[in-house]
Amino acid sequence: MSTRGTILNTLATKLLTITTANGFTQDILHVYREVHHPEESDAIGMDITILDNAGDAPLQYASGGIVRTSMSIVLIVDVWGDQLTEPTDGTHPLSIKVDNAIGDIRELIFAPIALGSDALFTEMGESESISIGQRRSRFTMPLQIHYKFDGASP
């Protein structure tokens, strides 16, 4: 497997460690590597799709003669509320879940996690959020992962 594939598989595995048992605010139930369309009637919790269709940046030389490149990916995060409508008491449980999800993912991405020895560093872009349906919110998180080029197709 290429370095790129290894890093993406490791990212998927690491995202699945976002659970309350590991000290996060909620649980990620599924991580997909292709776009999926969940059924709203049975959906609960939080799902992430790693959208990898942006390609790689041109090769660059880093210090010490290391050749590096970077991949642009987008995390599409679906957060499902427990009820069909927001309460009228001023609380917004779905909004709170979305804020918590963004915090959990940032905590994981910027923790000293190992995406493999060839991963150099990760940059995160600005999240964008949209509401879909009455109990679902979706947001995107663009990531730029810089890594050592392995000589194979990136």
Mean pLDDT of 89-97: 70
Sign of the CA dihedral running 90, 94, 97, 102? negative
Which one, of 132, 123, 150, 128, lies nearest residue 141 by Cα?
128
pLDDT digits (tens, 9 = 90+) for 19-77: 999 999 989 988 998 877 666 666 677 889 898 876 667 677 767 777 888 888 999 99
For residue 153, the model assigns a pLDDT of: 42
Q: What residue ranges define each of the domains in the chain, with the CATH number in brackets? A: 3-148 (3.30.2000.10)
Q: Are 133 and 55 a contacting pair, CB within 8 Å?
A: no
For residue 14, the model assigns a pLDDT of: 93
Mean pLDDT of 3-26: 91
